[in-house]
């Protein structure tokens, strides 16, 4: 006879797995693994590249590392990790008052990732695991997102030049 785990118990288990992840896993990595299916329809595939990136991003938000460039080919989950999961993790687990600014060469990518970010934070599974967190009033305004803790996430698109500047 199997006992059914209530939604509330499942939320507590998820939160505990993020706060005290298994050996060899950062809390950010656990967060990505547990909430991956809310952002990407493809199955979560773990690997050394993901562990390395979550360790670097953890060092950044701990203040141990600055000035990082991540060079990887397309499809290595750089954008999902750095523009969606990491800022959500920061707001939910580290500093909800954090202010973030994101930039890209293409404004459509910024909007896409901002929508993914807000959809992740607004998802019932995330809300159940982090009941103390609240979003700001204008959650659907993808250009500038605020939470209920005075944190915000903005973005800036720099249009490429149509011709070279010559002096």
Are the C-beta atoms of 145 and 114 separated by less than 8 Å? Answer: yes
- Assigned token pair, 142: 């993808």
Residue 134 confidence (pLDDT):
85
Residue 144 confidence (pLDDT):
62
pLDDT digits (tens, 9 = 90+) for 42-57: 999 999 999 999 999 9
Predicted model pTM: 0.81
- Assigned token pair, 82: 């750095």
Three-class secondary structure of residue 34 per DSSP: helix
pLDDT digits (tens, 9 = 90+) for 11-49: 888 999 999 999 999 999 999 999 999 999 999 999 999
Closest by Cα among 26, 37, 35, 65 to 130:
35
Residue 52 confidence (pLDDT):
95
pLDDT tens per residue across all 167 residues of the chain: 345 667 678 888 899 999 999 999 999 999 999 999 999 999 999 999 999 999 999 999 999 999 899 888 888 889 999 999 999 999 999 888 888 888 877 778 888 888 899 889 999 999 999 999 887 765 544 566 667 776 767 665 544 444 444 44
């Amino acid at each position: 006879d199997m006992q059914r785990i209530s939604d509330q118990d499942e939320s507590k288990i998820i939160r505990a797995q993020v706060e005290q992840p298994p050996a060899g896993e950062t809390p950010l990595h656990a967060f990505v693994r547990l909430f991956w299916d809310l952002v990407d329809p493809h199955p979560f595939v773990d690997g050394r590249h993901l562990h390395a990136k979550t360790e670097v991003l953890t060092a950044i938000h701990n203040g141990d590392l600055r000035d990082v460039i991540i060079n990887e080919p397309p499809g290595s989950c750089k954008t999902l990790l750095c523009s969606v999961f990491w800022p959500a993790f920061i707001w939910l687990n580290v500093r909800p008052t954090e202010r973030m600014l994101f930039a890209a060469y293409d404004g459509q990518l910024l909007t896409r990732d901002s929508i993914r970010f807000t959809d992740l934070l607004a998802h019932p599974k995330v809300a159940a695991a982090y009941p103390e967190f609240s979003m700001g009033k204008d959650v659907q305004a993808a250009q500038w997102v605020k939470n209920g803790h005075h944190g915000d996430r903005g973005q800036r698109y720099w249009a490429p030049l149509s011709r070279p500047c010559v002096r």
